Amino acid sequence: MINPRVVRGVVGAAGLLAVAEALGRSGLVDPVLLPPISTVLAAAFQLVVNPEFLADISGTLTVWGGGLLVAVLIAAPLGVLLGTLPAAELAVRPLIEFLRPIPSVVLIPLVTLLMPWDHGIKGTVVVYAAVWPVLINTMYGLRDVDPVAKDTLRSFGFGELAILRRVSLPSAAPFVFTGVRVATAIALIVTISAELLAGGADGIGAFMIRAQSGLRTDIMLAATVWTGILGFAANAVLVRAHRWAFRWHVTKAGGA
Amino acid sequence: MTVTTVTDLHDGAGPSPASANGTVRHGLGSVIRRVWLVPIVIIAWELGTRQAESPFFPPPSRILVHMHELWFSGPASALYLTEEASANFLPSIGRLFSGWALACILGIVLGIALGRSRTLFDYVNPIFEFARAIPPPALIPLFIIIFKIGTPMQLATIVYTVIWPILINTIDGARYLDSLHSETAQVFRLSRAQRFFRIILPAAAPKIFAGMRVSLSMAVILMVVSELVGALNGIGYLIQAKQQTLDLAGMWGGMVLLGLLGYVLNGTFLFVERHVLSWHRQARQTN
């Protein structure tokens, strides 16, 4: 028995591809500007063995992963600190609310002037964008800790640090992880934006700019397909990891 | 995988019933406890940048004076906006809101259709899962080919990005209807339109609003990205132009402006949401 949901999904995807292909071949659009989907997918397959593209993907992965790592290392401890000190959280909140909405990409012009290092420019911008979801989820997670559990430990004579380690951190961990997942998606978006805007030596965005200026739309769109595959794979891995790591946690947010 | 208001600092940050009953003195104290750090940070910023005298980090006072000169010293008839300000701010904000509004309409209509029909959802789910995973900036080159540089390209970028949180939250909100509500609708023989406006839409509203707020802040980001990539006006364009002419105080001014814009948009949205959804909160409280 084949699951009817899978069948419908395949039919839907195939239908969309067929329509896109027909549109591309109909002559309604210039095939040089907008090649048919089969050409794009074929180009996407060929990119796997293209050493130039592989170098660009590794550039993107370096900035993406590195930026994310630095962001988590900054935001998670800071979030724990602020989450356990309500007075500090209250004072810092207006600053966060002002800084958070500043789109990190507008920092590119400034950071470009300050830094000569290509990956550093992109990485800085990624860190700025990825810090917020982790920080806020960590703070929220710590605020949401069951007070009864904390009081129980306290009445058994455990110190504040022990309570943090045994109760607060484990119960906040799923929230932190959700923050990391959101940050991962944002970090990929910002990485590609920075590569498109700041160019640089490598990166999928830089590859797309080169393909575009060479009027190779098919290769450019093939790179777009790969960014989708990267985003999809990262999210799938993190969702699995979340389910596996927090089997014990009934998530209230429904965010699993 | 829905966006909930979990990531929201304002949740639970509003005045609790206890503090609302407090005295004026108590209210003043809580305001001070909330904002005392802001002036300290601004003063430290001012002193630090004056000390450093770096051309890249102008002191905030100079940024403010420069912002006033550049943008807010126009004639009263133009609401004190200078020509540069109205030629760049208004198109930006226009694109931001029209893109967001378009995404809201499309997202809510599509989302309710997909939330109510499992079959339809099964057909499009894989497509959406993949389309959602593509980082929107990677589509900008494609949108430039299709729409050329200009407002339609920027609108397409904004709509493509910000529709996902609305769509997914709406699907989720519309799917899980309280069986009591749907049975009541059957008993009273509500028409399709009545069911839509009286039952489905209100039931999904809290989730829809959560999605709309997330996408509003995303719309600001994509507005700027699309203006940095290819635009002839706009706040993002202005920031880039200031950088290229090495007017760094002007560049900082643009960044401050975006921070203010985001802050005001988020605050306004929360205010509106509180009023529109007040019935929902009341209903929850009486349960």
Q: What angle do CA A217, A219, A221 make, to 5 degrees?
A: 65
* Rounded-to-integer distance, Cα B80 and Cα B86, Å: 10
Please give the pLDDT value at position B1. Answer: 42
Q: Does residue A69 or residue B77 have the better pLDDT?
A: A69
* Rounded-to-integer distance, Cα A124 and Cα A66, Å: 10
Question: In B, residues 124-183, which contact A (CB 8 Å cutoff)?
Answer: 124-127, 129-142, 145-146
Please give the pLDDT value at position B14. Answer: 41
Token digits for A30? 């210039």
The shortest C-alpha distance from B194 to chain A (Å) reads: 29
Q: How confident is the model over A214-236, as a mean pLDDT? A: 88
CB atoms within 10 A of CB B42: 13
Q: Is B32 on the interface with A (CB under 8 A)?
A: no
Query: Which of B122, B128, B222, B237 best tests the A interface by mutation, with the highest count of A CBs <10 A?
Result: B122
Among chain A residues, the shortest Cα distance to B245 is held by A109
Please give the pLDDT value at position B159. Answer: 93
Q: Which residues does chain A have within 8 Å of residue B145's beta carbon, measured at their own beta carbons?
A: 33-34, 217
pLDDT tens for residues B243-276? 888 888 888 888 888 888 888 888 898 888 888 8
Determine whether the interchain pair A12/B38 forms a contact, defined as Cβ–Cβ distance below 8 Å.
no
* Residue pair B203/B174 in contact by the 8 Å Cβ criterion: yes
Helix (H, G, I), strand (E, B) or coil at B25: helix
DSSP one-letter string for chain A: ---HHHHHHHHHHHHHHHHHHHHHHTTSS-TTTS--HHHHHHHHHHHTT-HHHHHHHHHHHHHHHHHHHHHHHHHHHHHHHHHH-HHHHHHHHHHHHHHTTS-GGGHHHHHHHH---HHHHHHHHHHHHHHHHHHHHHHHHHHTS-HHHHHHHHHTT--HHHHIIIIIHHHHHHHHHHHHHHHHHHHHHHHHHHHHHH--SSSHHHHHHHHHHTT-HHHHHHHHHHHHHHHHHHHHHHHHHHHHHTTT---SS---
The shortest C-alpha distance from A90 to chain B (Å) reads: 5
* Residue pair A144/A249 in contact by the 8 Å Cβ criterion: no
Of B4, B228, B266, which has the smallest distance from its Cβ to A197's Cβ?
B228
Q: How confident is the model over A209-216, as a mean pLDDT? A: 83
* Rounded-to-integer distance, Cα A242 and Cα A255, Å: 10
Determine whether the interchain pair B9/A197 forms a contact, defined as Cβ–Cβ distance below 8 Å.
no
Q: Hey, what's the torsion of the CAs at A190, B263, B232, B155, to 10 degrees?
A: 70
* Residue pair A207/B113 in contact by the 8 Å Cβ criterion: no
Q: Does residue A69 or residue B183 have the better pLDDT?
A: A69
Determine whether the interchain pair A98/B259 forms a contact, defined as Cβ–Cβ distance below 8 Å.
yes
Q: Hey, what's the torsion of the CAs at A86, A94, B219, B203, to 10 degrees?
A: 50
Determine whether the interchain pair A13/B258 forms a contact, defined as Cβ–Cβ distance below 8 Å.
no
Write down the residue that tokens 């814009």 correspond to: B261
Question: In B, residues 237-266, which contact A (CB 8 Å cutoff)?
Answer: 239-240, 242-243, 248, 251-252, 254-255, 258-263, 265-266
The shortest C-alpha distance from B78 to chain A (Å) reads: 27
What is the torsional sign of CA B187, B189, B190, B191? Answer: positive
Q: Nearest Cα to A67, choosing from A26, A10, A109, A107? A: A107
Please give the pLDDT value at position B104. Answer: 94
Q: Does residue B167 or residue A86 have the better pLDDT?
A: B167
Determine whether the interchain pair A101/B6 forms a contact, defined as Cβ–Cβ distance below 8 Å.
no
Question: In B, residues 8-27, which contact A (CB 8 Å cutoff)?
Answer: 8-9, 12-13
Chain centroid to Cα A66, Å, comes to 12
Token digits for A229? 């595959």
Q: Which residues does chain A have within 8 Å of residue B248's beta carbon, measured at their own beta carbons?
A: 110, 113
Please give the pLDDT value at position B9. Answer: 42
Q: Is B36 on the interface with A (CB under 8 A)?
A: yes
Per-residue pLDDT of chain B (287 residues; tens, 9 = 90+): 444 444 344 443 344 444 444 455 567 888 888 788 888 888 998 898 888 888 888 888 888 888 888 888 777 777 777 778 888 888 899 999 999 999 999 999 999 888 888 888 888 888 888 888 888 888 888 888 888 777 888 899 899 989 998 998 898 888 877 777 778 888 888 887 888 888 888 888 888 888 888 888 888 888 888 888 777 888 888 888 888 888 888 888 888 888 888 888 888 988 888 888 877 766 655 44
DSSP structural state of residue B199: I
Determine whether the interchain pair A95/B38 forms a contact, defined as Cβ–Cβ distance below 8 Å.
yes
Q: Which residues does chain A have within 8 Å of residue B134's beta carbon, measured at their own beta carbons?
A: 224-225, 227-228, 231
* Rounded-to-integer distance, Cα B102 and Cα A95, Å: 31
Residue B233: φ, ψ to 5°: -160, 175
Determine whether the interchain pair A221/B142 forms a contact, defined as Cβ–Cβ distance below 8 Å.
yes
Q: Which residues does chain A have within 8 Å of residue B135's beta carbon, measured at their own beta carbons?
A: 188-189, 191-193, 227, 231
Among chain A residues, the shortest Cα distance to B36 is held by A91
Q: Which residues does chain B have within 8 Å of residue A93's beta carbon, measured at their own beta carbons?
A: 9, 13, 34
Q: Nearest Cα to B140, choosing from A36, A196, A102? A: A196
Per the prediction, chain A carries an average pLDDT of 84
Among chain A residues, the shortest Cα distance to B229 is held by A197
pLDDT tens for residues A139-191? 888 887 788 888 888 888 888 888 888 888 888 888 888 889 889 988 998 89
Q: Which range has the top average pLDDT, A86-95, A157-166, A206-215, B90-99?
A: B90-99
Buried-exposed string A81-109: b where 16+ CB fall within 10 A, e elsewhere = ebbbeeeebbbbbbebbbebbbbbbbbbb
Q: Which residues does chain B have within 8 Å of residue A225's beta carbon, measured at their own beta carbons?
A: 134
